[in-house]
A and B are shown apart, each in its own frame.
Chain A
Amino acid sequence: MQQLLNTSLVGLTLGFVYAAFALALVLVWRSTRVVNFAQAPMAMVTTFVALVVIEGGASWWLGLAAALASGLVLGAVLERAVVRPVQGGSQINAVILTLGLFIVLHALAAVVFGNRYRSFPAPFGIRGLEVGDRTVALTPTGVFTIVAVLVVMALLVALFRFTDLGLRMRAAAFNREVARLLGVRVGRMLTLGWALASLVGSLAGVLIASGSLVHPGFMDSVVVFGFVAAVLGGLDSPVGSVVGGLVLGLSLSFVSGYVGSQLVPLAALLILVLVLLVRPGGLFSTTTARQV
């Protein structure tokens, strides 16, 4: 019983992080029809930026702010400089491009920040909360993770639902030509979409790193989990990506707790293949069978 509860709690916390990461992938996919495989190294780089700020004597919160700001800038710069030219071209080129960025950012981080494990501080305690006389596997940092992801999601929903800017971004993503004719600066909206996605990815990166170790490769498996979560939700739906992230976090936590942590990526692969074979549109597809 104890283990069941703890496994679920760990899975829930992880699930929220995967959800944030999946959300970043979905934001990019919706605005530019590119799956940004470089999202993980981008978040890794901004997490290192945060670490440098924190090790320079600033507080954890300033580090988070630095990560988010650098994420915003990195996303915008990459979209404008590198991704824009392959827009509308063949899918394969876009995929190869983001993978090239993956390699570049990875190597660059290893050259600049060093290729070793460094510990990243946590904003709150990393000891389990005590409920009654038992310690459960939910840490104050874990609670903060969940709250932070929920707040960011609420802000994004507010942006897309209630603001003029959000409406323009949705228009640009929905139909580029029509949006342009109606006076929307589509290019800017796409850049902004990438910047926002990169910001959400950076948040996920800092949250994963908090109270743990960072290394140029520490986000590599997260891109797989984030992708699987996004596909679970249909790759097109922000709500779906959140639910997909939670489902994936819980399932992987159970695999890790009851089978073995080494098989977690394999479980993610099996889930992905099953979803794609059974419901190619994801669990939350609103459109009829889209071609995968």
Chain B
Amino acid sequence: MKCRDIQKELAAYLEGIISPKEKEGVENHLSSCQMCRKVFEELKRTEALVKGLEQVEPPPWFTQKIMSRVRAQQESKKNIIQRLFYPLHIKVPIEAFATVLIAVAAVYLFKANEPEMKRIHVPAATEQSASKDEVSKQPAETQGDTTILGGRVALEGVPKPQKQKGATRDKDQREQEVKEELKQRTVPPSAAEAPLPPVLAMKKEVPEKFTQTSKPPNQQLADRQHADTPAEQDQKIDSTAKTSGRGKAIDQRAFSTRLEVGTLSEKRAVALDISLHVRDTKAVKPDVENLLGQLGAQNIKKESLQTAEILTAELQTEKTQELLEKLKLLGEVKEKGLSSELPKGTIGIRIEMISPP
């Protein structure tokens, strides 16, 4: 082996990772070659110097410093994650849920309070649309009760609900409660407590068709337009009533209130009832008819009873005084209506001609 080859092997020899044969060759050469022995010594010295390097100690703050940086990094990472993902994965569902909840609550509250809010406006609306209420009264009379939420609840649409007689005791009790509450809450005290005016008392005597048909077509149309609101209320109230029991009770009150108020208005519209005492009703009857014709009365209808002749007609309010004056020429006139409080426009009049027995 030459010195160059030996010096290449020296590092491995020093590490002890050389084959026994190569090791023997190296050792033989080193014992005879001073130059190579010197190189070997330098190599050993180098290794010793490197291995003799002292370990440095970390500064006392080192762990703390590293951990503070790690924690700061963790926080910033959290913030980034929160900024980027928190709103998407957690917050949005919460917000969405809250929004939906609020919306549902708002709708529920609105639905629950809607009938009461409408009820506040009911009296004014129904007074204006009295004739429509009469129209709506008709089905109320015939139906008598309404099915709500699968249970039949009697609604007092008119003062004489025939079918209520067949209703159960519970229904009657509930109706009574509704009516009492209605009087306390919705009907103005004056209307609820004051005795009915004479006109109201006459209401049943006047045929219903009298008031229904006694108005000009344009007014009927206007009334119908007015009356659309209560009709819609009916629909809304019914639909609302299906949502909750509370709404149901309120609906009944509102419905009942409107019908009662409507009945009052109707009774005022049937304005004038006149009793004419004459000796011979059949003789006077054509004169009265002529008189009505002269005054422009319409829809003149006659009815003969055993003791009386009855004429019904529609007449302008302004003509009523003239009618009364001229009737006085024919016999003794008694007014049952309050002519001073007659509504303007066309009113229904009823003239009952009575002869002494």
Q: Do chains A and B interact in one complex?
A: no
The chain B residues found within 8 Å of chain A, CB to CB, are none
